[in-house]
Amino acid sequence: MSGYIARKGPMVFSNLGRWAYNLSGFNQYGLHRDDCLYEDDDVKEAIRRLPRKLYDERNYRILRALHLSMTKTILPKEQWTKYEEDVKYLEPYLNEVVKEREERDDWNKVH
């Protein structure tokens, strides 16, 4: 019985994650999760560090989503961002920014 639960565990989280992802609606505009992050100082710095290609792709998705929102339309279903294909492209840059900020904060506490 416990083997059954262990195998079902990841599937349950995957199904729940997929449900929440689709419920959010941003994928209907072709956006990725990282396109929707609140832009605090850390996120702004991570965006600044993006390679030009990722930065341009992000801006295109956001501008397209704004246009769709203003026209009160969504993309055809085959163009929606799929849960399995959504890449957290900003995460490595954001992790680096947060780590640097925490190191600076720690250093400033000591000195």
Which tens digit of pLDDT belongs to each residue from 36-56? 999 999 999 999 999 999 999
Fold of the domain built from segment(s) 2-110: Cytochrome Bc1 Complex; Chain F (1.10.1090)
- Other C-beta atoms within 10 Å of 89: how many? 19
Q: Residue 80 has what pLDDT?
A: 95
Most confident of the ranges 4-13, 66-75, 101-110 = 66-75
> Of 37, 55, 24, 56, nearest to 98 (Cα)?
37
pTM over 0.75: yes
Q: Residue 1 has what pLDDT?
A: 40
Q: How many helices (H) and strands (E) does the chain have?
A: 4, 0
First CA to last CA across the chain, in angstroms?
56
Q: Residue 6 has what pLDDT?
A: 43
Could you tell me the residue ranges of all domains in the chain? Answer: 2-110
Which tens digit of pLDDT belongs to each residue from 72-109? 999 999 999 999 899 999 999 999 999 999 999 999 98
